């Protein structure tokens, strides 16, 4: 058809080696580890104070095979009231990603920013459901800007490598 002229055929790879466009696929998502602790039940349900929630998020990556990478979100949550610990939740939620023809300079940004962005809503749902099943109101975690965090971390690492601090102007004009 006339409107298809010049369009890339992404469904059929080129036989001349022209199929070197970057490709990313989510092969699987899964819970690697999960823990819910309610150490002060049943007394916790009579406490009058509102618990404060501490949320810690870490990202881990691992090569799982040729062109395969596992990205793991580790989310630790502790809800503490004046009377003690109300509950603790620990989730290790992972995804297996197939990455083909991704340039080396784009691999780390994908694994530490985009992949966690894809995984986070599913981990957040597991956490909310766990709080409910533990007898607490749903715990709705705010969205996380993984790209912003990655860029901030990369800028800080670059500044440390050059002997400055993130945000410092280095060099001469």
80 domain residue, yes or no: yes
172 domain residue, yes or no: no
Domain containing residue 116: 30-141
When divided into structural domains, the chain yields a total of 1
Average pLDDT over the chain, rounded to an integer = 87
The arithmetic mean of pLDDT across residues 143-147, rounded, is 94
Confidence (pLDDT) at 170: 42
38 domain residue, yes or no: yes
CATH of the domain at 114: 3.10.420.10
* Whether pLDDT at 169 is above 50: no
Q: What is the pTM of this model?
A: 0.80
The closest alpha carbon to 85, from 120, 121, 36, 126, belongs to 36
165 domain residue, yes or no: no
How many other CB atoms are there within 10 angstroms of residue 47's CB atom?
Answer: 14
- pLDDT tens digits for 3-60? 555 444 545 555 555 578 899 999 999 999 999 999 999 999 999 999 999 999 999 9
83 domain residue, yes or no: yes
Percent of the chain with pLDDT over 90: 75
113 domain residue, yes or no: yes
* Whether pLDDT at 138 is above 70: yes
158 domain residue, yes or no: no
Query: Which DSSP string do the residues of 90-118 spell out, in sequence order?
Result: EEEEEEEEEEES--HHHHHHIIIIIHHHH
More confident: 73 or 163: 73
100 domain residue, yes or no: yes
* Whether pLDDT at 145 is above 60: yes
Cα angle at 25 between 20 and 27, to 5 degrees? 140
Residue 76 pairs in a beta bridge with 56, 90
């Amino acid at each position: 058809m006339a409107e298809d002229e010049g369009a890339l055929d992404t469904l059929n790879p080129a036989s001349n080696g022209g199929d070197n466009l970057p490709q990313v696929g989510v092969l699987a998502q899964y819970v690697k580890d999960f823990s819910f602790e309610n150490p002060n039940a049943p007394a916790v349900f009579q406490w009058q104070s509102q618990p404060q929630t501490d949320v810690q998020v870490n990202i881990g990556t691992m090569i799982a095979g040729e062109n395969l990478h596992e990205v793991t979100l580790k989310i630790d949550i502790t809800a503490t009231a004046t009377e003690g610990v109300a509950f603790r939740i620990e989730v290790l939620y992972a995804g297996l990603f197939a990455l083909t023809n991704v340039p080396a300079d784009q691999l780390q940004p994908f694994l530490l920013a985009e992949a966690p962005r894809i995984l986070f809503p599913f981990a957040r749902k597991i956490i909310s459901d766990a709080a409910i099943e533990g007898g607490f109101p749903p715990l709705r975690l705010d969205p996380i800007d993984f790209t912003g965090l990655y860029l901030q971390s990369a800028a800080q690492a670059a500044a440390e490598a050059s002997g400055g601090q993130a945000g410092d102007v280095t060099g001469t004009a």
